[in-house]
Structures are given as C-alpha cells and as structure tokens.
Structure 1
Amino acid sequence: VDENMANAARVHAIENGKRLDDRTLIAFGGAAPLHATRLADKLGIERVLVPVSAGVGSAVGFLRAPAAYEIARSFYQRWNALDLEAVNQMFAEMQSVAREVVQQCAPDGQLHEERLAYMRYLGQGHEIAVPVPEKSLASEDLTVLHNEFENAYKVQYGRTIPNVELEILSWSLRIYETKPAEVESLETTGTPPETPAPEGARQWFDPEAEQFVTAPVFQRDSLILGQRISGPAVIVETDTATIVSAAFVAEVDQKSNLVLFRK
C-alpha cells in the first residue's frame, strides 16, 4: 500500500515537473496519519504535518472553506484562427452564472476571479492549464497568453517546440470568496514543556527494523504547545491515529497541528 502511494506521488511530481524532497507532507483522512512517516521515508520528505481533526478533514474543509464555483466549457480553438469575440462572450456568460451562485452563499463576501485556458501544441495528447487575463481579451493579450503557455511548458517538459501551432481545447472560470483564516493560536508559557506521560503501549510492525516494536500511546487531546514525542510512538484521537516511526519526532505547533520531523 505504501509503495503504491509513493509511486503515485512520484509519477504525479514527474508529470508536473516538481520535486518532492523539499515539501511538507500533509496527512488527512482516517488512514493517512497511519502511513505518513513511512510514505515520507520513501519519498525523502523531511517534514509531515497532521492537522487538527485530520480524520474528518474533508468534512471540516467543506464547512469552513470559502464559497467558490467553477465552470468549464469545451470550446476548441486553433491559435491562428482564434475567435476572440466568441471567447469573450463565453467568459461573460460563465462569469454571470458563477457570480450568481457564489453571491447566494456569500452575499457580502469579497469575490475574486480566475480564468484558465487548457492549451497544447497542435496534435498533442495532454493540455496545460494557462492563466487567462481577467478582462475582455484583445489581440495584444494573445502574446501574453502564448508566453504563459511556453513558460509553463518549459517548466514541465524542459523545452518548447518552435514553429508548431497551438490549440485550445477548453476554458474554465472560477469565482471564489476570500476570507481570513479563523484558526486560533495556542499560548506559549515560555518554559519548555515536559514530555507527556503515555497512557499505555501498543505493538506495531516496523518495516525498517523488520520486527514488531512496542511503542508508547499518547492521547492527542492531552498534548500542549511545544511538547515533543520521540518515535516510535502512537498518538491517538477520536477520528484517527498517528504513527510516529523511530526516524521521526512529533511536536505540537501553535495551530495545534502535529508536526513530525526527521531526527
């Protein structure tokens, strides 16, 4: 299971021209914190973050996320025969519909807009999402759009293909509300807290050691800001459990997240 997830992450990173070893792995969902440190080992990631209520993260996110609505439409265009009038009319219709939906959820919210064109070289099988200026497009904007595509293509594939026409398969528009985060920060006492007392112990199989290990069990609700737990350990809560392998140390940060970093 862990190797399948690691392979999927590697493929996704390669396809998008990204590195993984300089990123933080965020574990959410009921099972993710169980696998997180093992996955981090396989991907060479040094830091793992387990947010509050990780096991029900999708439900929490749904309830607290800002209002947003996205529309995507297929509208094939060859670059050398791009119909700007039709494109502008399409975006105007999409904008009207999306704004009406979002304003029902956030009548007093500050709304923003994002437009994308899904572009590729003529005849290719995969498109790249390219930002489109949020206004009525004119001929001079085509140079900007062309440059954005080539920059994105070069980042992803390391090169561009000269003298090949572009084509656009589809377009999207997203209207979204922005509002400040509402996560409260924990207060620090100024004195490094003592290591918490475990409430018991549990055995689990350590793939690196190729044997079962006995690890102390801690209740996440009882942990306070700055407390550190050196692995191997298990941190349990109502909706999930976090495995801290022997290679990691867990600490509670000011947002009540569990931050696991390599020893």
Structure 2
Amino acid sequence: GPLHACELADALAIPSILLPPMPGVLSAFGMLAADVVNDAAQTVLETVATLRADPALLTTIYESLAVRVTAVLAEEGIATPTVDALLDMRYRGQSYELTVPLPLPVDAAALSDAEAAFHAAHAQRYGYAMPDETVEAVTLRVRGVGPGANPQLPRFEHVGPDATGAHIGDKPVWFDDTGAVATPCYDRARLQPGNRFAGPAVIVQFDTTTVVAPGWSARVDAMGNVWLRHGEA
C-alpha cells in the first residue's frame, strides 16, 4: 500500500503514484458501487451446424437461464436488468474453449455471428483459425447486469500550496541505514486541494499511512487524491 509505494515505484521506474482519498477501503467502496451481476450456465455440447439448422434447443436453454438470472436480480431490487448471452466454443477434438458473445435473439444468424467471432478470437489468441473445421457449442452462458450506485465524487475548491495547516509535528524516521531523519507528518483529513510538499514526509489517516520518500513530493488535486512524484510537486 501507500506505506511502500515510493520504494516499489523506484524499483519499477514508475515516476508517479495516485493515492485516492481512502486507499485502505477503496476495494470495499468499489464493491458497493459496482454493478450487480448474476450469471447462469448450462452445457449444450452440440455442433454449431446442428444448432443453426434448428436453434430451438439453444433458444429454450437461453430462455430458462434468462428467467433464472432475472429472478435473482429482482430479489436484489433490479427490475429491468441488461441480459446478454455468451457461448463457450471450440473446434471438435479440442479440450478447451473460448467464450464469445451470442447475439440476441438466438437464431441461425446469431449462431453464424458467434461462429465468426470464435474463429477471430481463436486467431487472436493462438495465432491461427480453422474455418473449415467443425465448431462445437459447449456451454451457453447468460449474464444479467443491474447498474451500480454510480456515486458522484465531489470536487473541491483549490486552496493553494501551503500545507502547514495539515502539519501535525515531526518524528524521526529511518529511510536507510544512515540514521534517522526528522520527518514532518501531515493529517490527510486536513490536506486541501493544491497543497504541495516535498519528501521526506509521512501522511497519516484512519485507514492507512503514506510515506513520501526522500526525492519524492506530494500534491493534492481537486478530488482529494494525493499524487506522489519524483522531484518537485
């Protein structure tokens, strides 16, 4: 995390680092804001040629899976989800599949489009395609998606470069074996957009600790992100 960000960036020759306002709980925030997704799948194991001649089997499976995923999403409060179909396909004799979109409604034209997408995906993944070989549809997948919370992140007014209002004291910090360095500490909650300061420094907050290593600098942007960069902020 931010405690080792500068050291890791130095090792990988990365010149800048973005630290969101709540890095310690960012994954939890993303989970709460993410789309609601439900998947269902059923084995088909038929050749595409057979299904194209009579798509009724695939249509029946699709309708059954679509009912299942929409029912689950309805329990989550999603009344009108987006429903898509995917098909796991392979050349006959292969023991592995590639998943490609299956256009809706499920009919002969949709299967031809999926087969063409499979040939293209196989060529992209493995460097070759075999359009004259028999293609099998192995598994039909249906995915229902309900939109997430889509939170509107606030933007704050630019204050200026002076970060002394967030300074909460100095502490000795060892960055190498040459000894301790008197290092200013800053309260992340008090940092304002436009604030800048050079390392070494430590930024403290409720969910993480950020080390601004010597040779690095920090800048706060309009959304409260802290940017760490080599050299001047």
Partner of 1:258: 226
Deviates more, 1:232-241 or 1:96-105: 232-241
Pick closer, same or farther for the CA change 1:192–1:52 going to 2, 3 Å.
closer
Matched, 1:60 2:10: no
Matched, 1:193 2:161: yes
Cα offset for 1:119? 3.2
**Candidates 96, 106, 116, aligned match of 1:147:** 116
Structure 2: 5+ residue stretches without partners: none
**Candidates 138, 145, 153, aligned match of 2:107:** 138
Partner of 1:240: 208
RMSD of aligned Cα (Å): 3.4
Partner of 1:88: 59
Give the TM-score of the pair, scaled to structure 2: 0.74
**Candidates 14, 19, 41, aligned match of 1:72:** 41
Give the TM-score of the pair, scaled to structure 1: 0.67
Matched, 1:217 2:185: yes
Q: Secondary structure at the match of 1:34?
A: coil
Cα offset for 1:250? 3.6
How many pairs were matched up?
A: 225
Pick closer, same or farther for the CA change 1:143–1:184 going to 2, 3 Å.
same
Cα offset for 1:238? 1.2
**Separation (CA, whole Å) in 1 of partners of 2:108 and 2:211:** 56
Q: Secondary structure at the match of 2:28?
A: helix
Overall identity of the aligned pairs, in %:
28
